[in-house]
Amino acid sequence: MNRTLDTPESRPWLKLVLVAVAGVLVVLASPFFGSTQLNWANLLSRGSELNIDQEIFLNLRLSRALFAALVGGALGVAGAVFQVTLRNDLATPYTLGVSTAASLGALIAFHLSLKGLAVSGFALMGGLLSVALILAVARWLGGGEGTVTLLLIGITLNLLFASLILVLQYMSDPHETFMIVRWLMGGVDVTGLSISGWLAMVLLPFLVILVIRGQSLNVLMLDDLTARSLGVHPDRSRLIAIGAASFMAAIVVGFAGPIGFIGLIIPHAVRRIVGDDHRFLLPACFAVGGGFLALADIIGRLIGGDLEIPVGIVTALIGGPIFLYIVIRKARTL
């Protein structure tokens, strides 16, 4: 047995614990930052009703931090799954058009004057419809669920859904257009803990499924022939993984809007720390993705002052240069 596996530097579970603790600390620190200074005496006071500081801390900032953690974590996991199933380092939840289709579904709900869970339901239907269309067209073309076929069809559908979003914007009145543009920037400004609790219950089973199938995802990093020789059905494993990741991405887009770059940069960053074993990589991506989005929300609140900068803009400003670095580094290795 290779004794290097017993050293602290090579223990992925230890690294997973460390990045998880870091992510949790960022999320717990998030409620203490904002344009309004909180009074510690009021925060720690006891009474039959919440005072204004406790109301801000619990129902506004803490709920916002937990929501950001769930959204960022889900997008980080989805990005890692898409990268391994498509064998493409630049794959994200946007690659197969899942997030764009989910956005289209949510905007249709807005256009129909629907609100709340109805918007998330339309977003979920849009995201899953995108995956169903991709797999159906791939089978019709005789390519099965091969990575190249999935990528080409996904990119095409992504452009189609983006065009339909523009059509919807063009047909909307100025007020609706403003609401659509603002929603497309992404945001985590929710009120109350109920949404985060409901979202956690929905996302957790799919995260567990993906972590349990982590070894199958490890095998998918190899070619399909090798995967079959190791007893893994690549098409079936890829379908299950993409379906679970798509569901996670679609539901969070329905609640928070399309927040970019997390599904791209988080898996790359975490992989350099934890390694390629998806049994550890996926929960680490969830922790780091959640902490990253909570941190981006802190930045948006602090630099924007009273006018908060949407978190989707902050992640784009941070993720853009990182994405460029990844592309340049990848080009140099070719």
Domain ranges of the chain: 68-333
CA distance 66 to 82: 24
Residue 331 vs residue 159, higher pLDDT:
159
Contact 254, 102 (CB under 8 A): yes
- Report how far apart, in Å, the C-alpha atoms of 198 and of each of 66, 73, 203, 253 are: 12, 15, 9, 15
pLDDT tier at 146, thresholds 50, 70, 90:
low
pLDDT at residue 36, rounded to an integer: 75
Structure tokens at 186: 């992404």
Q: Which long-range contacts (CB under 8 A, 24 or more apart) does 46-53 make?
A: none
Give the pLDDT mean for 175-188: 82
pLDDT at residue 174, rounded to an integer: 83
Contact 289, 77 (CB under 8 A): yes
pLDDT at residue 8, rounded to an integer: 43
Q: Among 37-51, 72-86, 180-194, 205-219, where is mean pLDDT lowest?
A: 37-51
Average pLDDT across the chain, whole number: 84
One-letter amino acid for residue 230 of the chain: L
pLDDT at residue 6, rounded to an integer: 40
Neighbours of 87 (CB within 10 A): 16
Residue-wise pLDDT for 232-265, tens only, equals: 888 888 888 988 998 898 888 888 888 988 999 9
Residue 143 vs residue 176, higher pLDDT:
176
One-letter amino acid for residue 132 of the chain: A
CA distance 200 to 35: 28
pLDDT at residue 209, rounded to an integer: 95
Give the pLDDT mean for 211-239: 86
Which residue in the block uniquely carries the two structure tokens 């929501």?
Answer: 67
Residue-wise pLDDT for 69-122, tens only, equals: 999 999 999 999 999 988 888 888 777 788 888 888 888 888 888 877 787 788
Q: Among 18-27, 64-73, 192-201, 283-292, where is mean pLDDT lowest?
A: 192-201
| Positive or negative: CA dihedral 198, 103, 82, 86 | positive
CA distance 177 to 188: 20
pLDDT at residue 1, rounded to an integer: 37
Residue-wise pLDDT for 58-72, tens only, equals: 888 899 999 999 999
Contact 50, 275 (CB under 8 A): no
CATH of domain 68-333: 1.10.3470.10
H helix or E strand, kind and range, residue 26 = helix 12-29
CA distance 330 to 32: 39
Model pTM above 0.85: yes
pLDDT at residue 305, rounded to an integer: 67
Q: Is 27 helix (H, G, I), strand (E, B) or coil?
A: helix
Q: Which of 66, 67, 74, 120 is nearest to 93 (CA)?
A: 74
Q: Is residue 4 pLDDT above 70, yes or no? A: no
Contact 86, 150 (CB under 8 A): yes
Give the pLDDT mean for 205-229: 89
Residue-wise pLDDT for 10-34, tens only, equals: 688 899 999 999 999 999 999 988 7
Q: Which of 202, 190, 184 is nearest to 63 (CA)?
A: 190
CA distance 57 to 24: 17
